[in-house]
Amino acid sequence: MTSATNANILVFACRWCGLIGADGAGRRRTELPASFRVIPVECAGYVEPDAVIRAFASGAAGVAVLGCHVGGCRFNDANHPALKRLELLRTLLDATGIGGNRLLLGFGTAHEYHQWADTIREFHKHVEGLPSMKSWLPQEQQG
């Protein structure tokens, strides 16, 4: 089994908490792995399972959805159904062989940049230890 040494991680970050945490870590020049990309979203509740599946199909070794604390959402607690929907997606990812452990759900406040950085570093380390996703990619992407 080969590991995902270049663990490309896609992070969907809520603009009210996750994205501000990312910005805080960046402004403080917190050391982070280079192989992650952040996609700002209005709310973690807006991240649909098909966006996560498309990220994996495009070569992501891991996907993180980072939003506000559960119960602290600006969009009528939209992160409650998001949590349920994405937990269900984990089951689907396990059933397909991709693995639900490649999906991270994290919730925090905008002021927890240190927690945000720790979460990204730990998830990156975790994903690096997983088998490569190349077997799941179309032939033209396996390069």
The single-letter DSSP state of residue 90 is H
Q: Are strands 9-14 and 103-108 parallel, antiparallel or unpaired?
A: unpaired
Question: Domains in the chain and their CATH numbers?
Answer: 9-132 (3.40.50.960)
What integer pLDDT is reported at residue 55 of this predicted model? 95
What integer pLDDT is reported at residue 140 of this predicted model? 57
Query: 16 near 43, Cβ under 8 Å?
Result: yes
Q: Which residues pair with 11 in a beta bridge?
A: 38, 64
What integer pLDDT is reported at residue 136 of this predicted model? 60
**DSSP tally for the chain: helices H, then strands E:** 4, 4
Print pLDDT tens along the chain (143 aa): 334 446 899 999 999 888 888 888 888 888 888 899 999 999 888 899 999 999 999 999 999 999 888 777 777 777 788 888 999 999 999 999 999 999 999 888 767 788 888 999 999 999 999 988 766 655 555 55
What's the Cα-to-Cα distance from 118 to each of 33, 34, 54, 64, 114, rounded to whole Å? 11, 14, 26, 13, 6
Evaluated on CA atoms 65, 70, 73, 79, the torsion sign reads positive
